[in-house]
Amino acid sequence: MSFQMQSSDFLNIKDESSRFMLENAYQAITISEGWDFMKSFNDNQHGFMFSSNPMTGKIMSKMEELGYSGHSGSSFGWTMRMMEFLAKHGREAFLAKFQ
Q: In the prediction, which pLDDT does 52 show? A: 84
Give the dihedral of Cα atoms 79, 73, 68, 39; nearest 10 deg.
Answer: -30
pTM, to two decimals: 0.91
pLDDT in tens, 25-52: 999 999 999 999 999 998 777 888 888 8
Q: CA 92, 95, 99 angle in degrees (round to 5)?
A: 125
pLDDT in tens, 63-94: 999 999 889 989 999 999 999 999 999 999 99
Confidence of residue 57 (pLDDT cuts 50, 70, 90): very high
